[in-house]
Amino acid sequence: MRVAVVQTQWVDDHEDGLRNAHQAIEDVCSAGDIDLVCFPEFLLGPPWYMPGQDGLKGRTDTPIPGPVVDGFQTLARKLGTHILLGSIVEDLQDGMYRNTSLLIGRQGVITGRAIKAHAFGNEMVVCRQADSLGVMSTEFGQIGIAVCSDFWIPEVIRLLALAGARTIFVPGGTLGQNQPLMVNALRTAAYLNDVNIVYASSVGVVRGKRGDRLVEIHFAGTSLVARPEGVIAQAGSDKPEVLVVDLDEPAPGDGRRWQQLRRPGAYQKLLTPYAGQNRDLAAELRASLTGGQGPHRGPAAAATSATEGTRP
């Protein structure tokens, strides 16, 4: 499978973002036979529920099906390639949203859909989450999709690998301060689970107010492809870029040897919450969205400017 990982850059005008995405597909497919083009999370631009992004409501979110997705389906059909729309904020038309990843097949048909299952930040309040995790059958074999923060729950990659996925796509967004540990965590997940991991991220900065505080969210690219033995391709952190890699299913390695030693009957405690969990984070976020103050940890951030993350 020849995969093109498109590292996008968020731009002020979401229409430009959409045009750039189309152009990236055209460009990479014109340069060679690409089986699958993979985009990051929020490929149309930041969601309205990020700090200071209220003006994007109705712009970077969209109904599915709808004209935005139709455009990508037409492109997939025209170019004969799969397109993985890393994620789009899906407007459910009832006041709620979903962070939805779509796989479009060569014929332009939506062949797979993964909804973020572990909401992050304000998604805990405004988004519905997936009620299951599953793999998708493709001409390349079984694949999995872990939408951004789903990756940071190690149970997710494990479940997808045990269900037969040999390549797992992680559309996400890299926070600068997490960059080195994130690269190593992706590599580790590939190794322990004996899978390929294709990670697509965007580049850019989002600025806005949360409460009375100006915040900046820096996205540091670093899209990469990891095989069980290590990272085989990695993008930079400050500009749009495309990685093209040929990926085969990994031969059985250490991860699968250990998986054969699993004793699932002994793992019931995975079905219990973290012992230290003693706060209702959704309630705190809801309060902060409606102007209340949730409890804060640690020293107060600078009153006028701070760097804020949106995901692990």
- Please say whether the beta carbons of 129 and 96 come within 8 A: no
Residues numbered 34-73 forming contacts with other proteins, rule: CB under 8 A: none
Number of shown-chain residues binding other proteins (CB under 8 A): 76
302 belongs to the binding site for other proteins (CB under 8 A): no
Q: Coil, helix or strand for 199?
A: strand
Nearest residue (CB) to other proteins, 141 versus 176: 176
Nearest residue (CB) to other proteins, 110 versus 183: 183
* All residues at 6 or more sequence positions from 266 whose CB lies less than 8 Å from its CB, including other chains: none
CA angle, 181 then 185 then 189, to 5°: 175
Q: Which of 20, 138, 178, 179 binds other proteins (CB under 8 A)?
A: 178
216 belongs to the binding site for other proteins (CB under 8 A): no
Nearest residue (CB) to other proteins, 11 versus 245: 245
User: C-beta of 210: minimal distance to other proteins in Å?
Assistant: 8
301 belongs to the binding site for other proteins (CB under 8 A): yes
User: C-beta of 231: minimal distance to other proteins in Å?
Assistant: 10
309 belongs to the binding site for other proteins (CB under 8 A): yes
Give the Cα separation of 26 and 230 in Å (integer): 30
Give the Cα separation of 66 and 220 in Å (integer): 30
272 belongs to the binding site for other proteins (CB under 8 A): yes
* All residues at 6 or more sequence positions from 162 whose CB lies less than 8 Å from its CB, including other chains: 259
28 belongs to the binding site for other proteins (CB under 8 A): no
Nearest residue (CB) to other proteins, 26 versus 267: 267
281 belongs to the binding site for other proteins (CB under 8 A): yes
CA angle, 271 then 272 then 275, to 5°: 150
Give the Cα separation of 21 and 200 in Å (integer): 13
Sheet of 306-307, strand order: 203-210, 213-220, 306-307
Residues numbered 107-166 forming contacts with other proteins, rule: CB under 8 A: 117-121, 129-133, 149, 152-155, 158-159, 162-163
**Residue span binding other proteins (CB under 8 A) among the ranges 11-19, 33-41, 91-99, 173-181:** 173-181
